[in-house]
Amino acid sequence: AALEALADAMPRQRHEAWVREVAQARQAFEAENEEYYQTGLTYTDAVHPAVIAKELADFVHNGEIPQDRTTILQGGYGIARYTRRYLRSFRPGQIVNGAYQYGAIGPDVGYTVGVAAAVRHGIGAQADFQGHPIIAVTGDAGFGYTAMELETLSKYRLPAVLIVYNNNAWGTWSGQANNTLGLPVHLFQENLRYDKLGEALGTHGEYVTKAAEMRPALERAYQVALDESRPSIINVQAKKEFWQRDQYPPGFLGKVEPGVMSYYH
């Protein structure tokens, strides 16, 4: 009450210049996102992260699903640098960030179990969205740490769609590109079929190798979650070289303007 009284007593301030700056930054940001997406479509030998991000955002925000319905677990080290640019949060608790700020590596599949359970039971901010499918995003490196939690998702029939950005490497690989001895530690076997692993553990599986396959795979997996209350894994085949800006611009992304690291708005 005291703070409210002080606020009422203070003269109202206007922030037209700041509002204009943010609006201009938003416009430039969205134009840049569209440029990244169109560039990503030109790479036909694998699925670019901008394509994954744009197709996912369009599916959950600009299609038949209400914008605020789908809870999204945002994980992954490299892929998150793209998906967080396109995804929006239209309510509290819609975007659940991976726990990387606590130094955890690869928590995303286990985290998916918890988020899916919270939505199933309508806990906290998820109360109004109880029972709806969720979507989670992770990378192949992080996926390896908690992949067996796919069995947990299957056992409890949790309606989660897990997207795995499979670029055959850790997101840190490019820093070791010229290190003959160090590089192999950062690389995986090529084009591993994580979708087959998921199927063996009871999930629905999709393997996406072309940009045009991304949206149909999302639609099928989401429908499985709706109709059967079963999890799905969408194994999206990328390539590690997408992180090299000189070969595949825009490469590994950094922060956005106006430099405040604000996403999902």
Question: Domains, the chain, ranges and CATH?
Answer: 2-243 (3.40.50.970)
Mind listing the pLDDT tens digit for each residue in 206-237?
999 999 999 999 999 999 999 999 999 999 99
pLDDT of the residue at 172: 78
pLDDT of 263 reads 64
Q: Which residues contact 55 (CB under 8 A, 6 or more apart)?
A: 211, 214, 215, 218
pTM for the model stands at 0.90
The residues near 193 (Cβ < 8 Å, ≥ 6 apart) are 207, 235
According to the model, what pLDDT value does residue 106 have? 87
Closest CA to 140 of 47, 258, 13: 47
What per-residue confidence (pLDDT) applies to 101? 63
Q: Which residues have CB under 8 Å from 181's CB, separation 6+?
A: none
C-alpha distances out from residue 231 to 39, 91, 139, Å? 31, 24, 17
Question: Is the distance from CB of 187 to CB of 173 less than 8 angstroms?
Answer: yes
The total number of residues written for the chain in this structure: 265
Q: What are phi and psi of 189, to 5 degrees?
A: -60, 150
pLDDT of residue 116: 97
Looking at residue 134, its pLDDT comes to 98
Token pair in block for residue 115: 């988020």
Beta strands 134-139; 160-166: pairing state: parallel
Angle 46-52-57 from CA coordinates, rounded to 5°: 165
pLDDT of residue 38: 98
Rg (CA), the chain: 20
pLDDT value at residue 123: 96
Residues of the chain with pLDDT under 50: 260
Residue 58 structure tokens? 């369009």
In contact, 211 and 162? CB cutoff 8 Å: no
Give the per-residue pLDDT at 260.
Answer: 47
Give the pLDDT of residue 105.
Answer: 82
